[in-house]
A and B are shown apart, each in its own frame.
Chain A
Amino acid sequence: DVKVTQSSRYLVKRTGEKVFLECVQDMDHENMFWYRQDPGLGLRLIYFSYDVKMKEKGDIPEGYSVSREKKERFSLILESASTNQTSMYLCASSHRVRHTEAFFGQGTRLTVV
């Protein structure tokens, strides 16, 4: 079974803190993605990575950065957390080959107070 594991289900952080969200996949996937999910807005892509050390901005990268030092791990970093970054964060992975689906983690619900 493909597994995408996010390090925390729930996080509460203070405004201005630096926040790290970690994601690990065990299927040797090249592509990894970070989305945020908000009611009525669906899934919005923050960043994705198609290889180690490679990253591409998605639709809403402002206020976020990412790190991909190892193939199986993709980290999302909130440099200085703000209340408008309170959201559900979803990590996904897929093979780079065109004909493939993405597999999702359980999500991290981040609250910034």
Chain B
Amino acid sequence: AQSVSQHNHHVILSEAASLELGCNYSYGGTVNLFWYVQYPGQHLQLLLKYFSGDPLVKGIKGFEAEFIKSKFSFNLRKPSVQWSDTAEYFCAVTPALYSGAGSYQLTFGKGTKLSVIP
């Protein structure tokens, strides 16, 4: 089974600072990768996803992530954060190829809480 590790539990930044949130996964095969965001009081929504092709993926609201296969990493970045980016961010992984019913499992990390100070 796969697993996801997010290195930072809580990150505090000032507005306009650059952001990088770490995500590493553990799985022996090809994967699909996701970043989700949960704004206070709201449901989880997709920020961006990687399935194949260009390892640099662009998402909504100026976020991007880079898939580095050799490092099993999928770090989330944003050049300049805003107060409205205050939220909890979750990295998730699912196997890309079918190898039984367990392939449909979508596994999340523990999340990183981002607080942006105006």
Binding site for B on A (CB under 8 A): 31, 33, 35, 40-45, 48, 50, 54, 56, 58-59, 90, 92, 94, 96, 98-99, 101-102, 104-107
Q: B27 — which chain A residues lie within 8 A by C-beta?
A: none
- Taking a contact as CB atoms under 8 Å apart, the answer to whether A92 and B96 are in contact is no
Q: Output the least CB separation between B103 and chain A (Å).
A: 8
- Taking a contact as CB atoms under 8 Å apart, the answer to whether B34 and A101 are in contact is yes
Q: A54-B101, A98-B51, A106-B43 are in contact. Are A45 and B32 (CB under 8 A)?
A: no
- Taking a contact as CB atoms under 8 Å apart, the answer to whether A105 and B43 are in contact is yes
Which of B11-19, B66-74, B79-87, B104-112 binds A? B104-112
- Taking a contact as CB atoms under 8 Å apart, the answer to whether B43 and A31 are in contact is no
- Taking a contact as CB atoms under 8 Å apart, the answer to whether A45 and B106 are in contact is yes
**Does B44 sit within 8 A of A, measured CB to CB?**
yes
Among candidates B92, B98, B102, B110, residue contacting A40 with C-beta atoms closer than 8 Å: B110
**Does B90 sit within 8 A of A, measured CB to CB?**
yes
**Does B117 sit within 8 A of A, measured CB to CB?**
no
User: Secondary structure of the A side of the interface?
Assistant: strand
- Taking a contact as CB atoms under 8 Å apart, the answer to whether A98 and B96 are in contact is yes
Closest 10 CB pairs of A and B: A42-B110, A43-B108, A104-B44, A42-B111, A50-B104, A101-B46, A99-B51, A104-B43, A106-B43, A56-B101
Cα separation A76 to B83 with both chains bound (whole Å):
36
Q: A59 — which chain B residues lie within 8 A by C-beta?
A: 1, 107
Q: Output the least CB separation between A54 and chain B (Å).
A: 7
Q: Smallest CB-CB separation from A54: which chain B residue? A: B101
Q: A40-B9, A99-B32, A104-B43 are in contact. Are A45 and B105 (CB under 8 A)?
A: yes
Among candidates A56, A99, A107, residue contacting B104 with C-beta atoms closer than 8 Å: A56
